[in-house]
C-alpha cells in the first residue's frame, strides 16, 4: 500500500541520499516518441538496451514501456530486466521519476515533484505531459513506498545532492520563468530543504551551452563525493561553453558545502563540439518545440554519467575525449568499474545516461 503523505520529509526525519550510496533498483523508460527519437526510436531503443544491460550487471533494472511497445521491448531486453507496462509521454526517467528519501531506520519514501515538460506553456518541449507527471507516484505504488507530492515544478536532473546536506542546482533552470515564477529564490530553497532535507543550496549561474532543459545541473557537474565535484570544462575561448565553465568554476571555488568544506573541483573536458548530422535529422518527425535540425549544437557532456553500486556507466561521445573521461573517473573512483556505452543516440534526443535513469535507494 502506498499513501500520499501530507507531512514533509524533513519533519519526518528523511533525507535524500547521494547517488554513490547503495541502490536496490534502477528505473528507465522505453523511447518511442517519433518527434524526438529518429526512425521511431529504433536506434535509441538499442542504446537504452545497452545501458540497461550495463546497469543490470550490478543493479536490478525495471523498464517502463507502453502497451504498444511491450512485445518489442520484451524481445529486445534480456530476461533479467523487469518490464512494467506504464504510460509515459517520453523517456526521461531522471526527470519524471521520484526523488527518493530515506531515514536511519531503514525506511524509504518517494518525493513526487510537479512536472511540466521543461517549461510548460512558456517553453516546454511537448504537450501534454500528464502521463509523465503520474510516473513518480506509480513507481512508489509498485514499490509500496509512501510518497510526498511536493509543491514545486522540478525535474530530477536539475538537482544534485551530496547526501550530507548540500544541494547543487543552476539559477538558469530553477529560477526560470517557466518553472515556478511565483516563488522567490528563498522560497524555492525552503521547499528543497523541506522535501530533501538539505541545509545548503549552491547556485551555479548557468548549465551547459544549448541544453534545452534550461540548463540542468546534471549536464554540467557531478558529485564525486561530499566536498568534491566534476565540472564540464572547455579550453577554447571561442566556444560559448568556455565562459559558462569559467563562471561555474569561479562560483564553486568560492563556495563551501553544508559541512563547511571548501570544494575540490575536477575539470572534465566536454566532447566535441558535437552537432546533429544531416542523416540524423532526416529521421525525426517535425515538431514546434524541439530543435532537431541538421547543424544544431548538441549539449554533449561526460558529467552526465550514472553511479550505481560500485559501477559507473559513462556515455561515450567523442573518440578524442572518451579515453580521457574514463581515465579521470577511474582515478577519482578507486574500486569502481567504469563501463562506457556509446550514447550518441541518447544525446540526439536531448540528454544522456544520467537523464534516462532513476535510482531507488537500498534500505
Q: What amino acid positions are annotated as catalytic residues?
A: 355
β-strand pairing of 166-170 with 200-204: parallel
Q: From CA 44, how far away is CA 344, in angstroms rounded?
A: 9
Q: Which of 362, 363, 356 is closest to 27 using CA atoms?
A: 356
Tracing cell 509500496 back to the chain, one arrives at: 144
Q: How far is CA 158 from the centre of its chain?
A: 7
Q: From CA 63, how far away is CA 139, in angstroms rounded?
A: 11
Q: How many CA atoms lie within 13 A of 189 on its CB side?
A: 13
Q: From CA 346, how far away is CA 352, in angstroms rounded?
A: 5
Q: From CA 216, how far away is CA 159, in angstroms rounded?
A: 7
Q: Do residues 16 and 161 lie in contact, with contact meaning Cβ atoms separated by under 8 Å?
A: yes
- Residue 144: which residues within 8 A CB-CB, separation 6 or more? 1, 2
Amino acid at each position: 500500500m502506498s499513501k500520499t503523505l501530507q507531512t514533509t520529509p524533513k519533519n519526518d526525519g528523511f533525507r535524500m541520499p547521494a547517488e554513490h550510496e547503495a541502490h536496490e533498483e534502477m528505473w528507465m523508460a522505453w523511447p518511442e516518441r517519433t518527434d524526438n527519437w529518429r526512425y521511431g526510436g529504433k536506434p535509441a531503443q538499442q542504446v537504452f538496451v545497452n545501458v540497461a544491460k550495463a546497469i543490470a550487471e550490478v543493479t536490478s533494472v525495471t523498464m517502463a514501456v507502453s502497451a504498444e511497445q511491450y512485445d518489442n521491448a520484451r524481445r529486445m531486453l534480456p530476461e533479467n530486466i523487469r518490464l512494467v507496462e506504464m504510460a509515459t509521454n517520453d523517456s526521461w526517467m531522471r526527470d519524471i521519476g521520484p526523488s527518493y528519501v530515506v531515514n536511519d531506520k531503514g525506511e524509504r519514501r518517494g518525493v513526487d515533484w510537479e512536472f511540466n515538460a521543461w517549461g510548460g506553456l512558456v517553453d516546454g518541449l511537448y504537450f501534454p505531459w500528464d502521463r509523465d507527471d503520474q510516473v513518480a507516484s506509480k513507481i512508489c505504488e509498485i514499490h509500496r513506498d509512501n510518497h510526498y507530492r511536493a509543491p514545486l515544478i522540478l525535474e530530477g536532473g536539475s538537482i544534485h545532492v551530496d547526501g550530507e546536506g548540500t544541494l547543487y542546482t543552476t539559477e538558469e533552470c530553477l529560477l526560470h520563468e517557466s518553472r515556478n515564477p511565483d516563488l522567490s529564490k528563498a522560497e524555492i530553497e525552503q521547499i528543497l530543504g523541506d522535501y530533501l532535507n538539505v541545509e545548503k543550496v549552491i547556485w551555479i549561474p548557468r548549465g551547459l551551452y544549448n541544453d534545452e532543459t534550461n540548463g540542468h545541473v546534471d549536464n554540467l557537474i557531478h558529485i564525486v563525493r561530499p566536498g568534491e565535484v566534476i565540472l564540464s570544462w572547455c579550453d577554447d575561448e571561442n566556444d560559448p561553453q568556455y565562459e559558462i565553465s569559467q563562471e561555474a568554476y569561479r562560483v564553486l571555488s568560492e563556495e563551501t558545502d553544508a559541512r563547511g568544506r571548501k570544494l575540490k573541483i575536477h575539470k572534465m573536458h566536454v566532447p566535441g563540439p558535437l552537432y546533429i548530422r544531416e542523416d540524423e535529422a532526416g529521421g525525426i518527425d517535425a515538431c514546434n518545440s524541439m530543435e532537431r535540425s541538421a547543424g544544431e549544437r548538441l549539449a554533449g557532456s561526460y558529467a552526465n554519467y550514472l553511479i550505481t553500486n560500485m559501477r559507473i556507466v559513462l556515455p561515450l561521445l567523442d573518440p578524442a575525449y572518451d579515453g580521457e573521461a574514463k581515465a579521470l573517473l577511474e582515478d577519482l573512483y578507486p574500486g569502481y568499474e567504469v563501463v562506457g556505452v556509446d550514447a550518441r543516440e541518447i544525446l540526439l534526443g536531448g540528454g544522456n545516461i544520467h537523464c534516462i535513469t532513476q535510482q531507488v535507494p537500498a534500505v
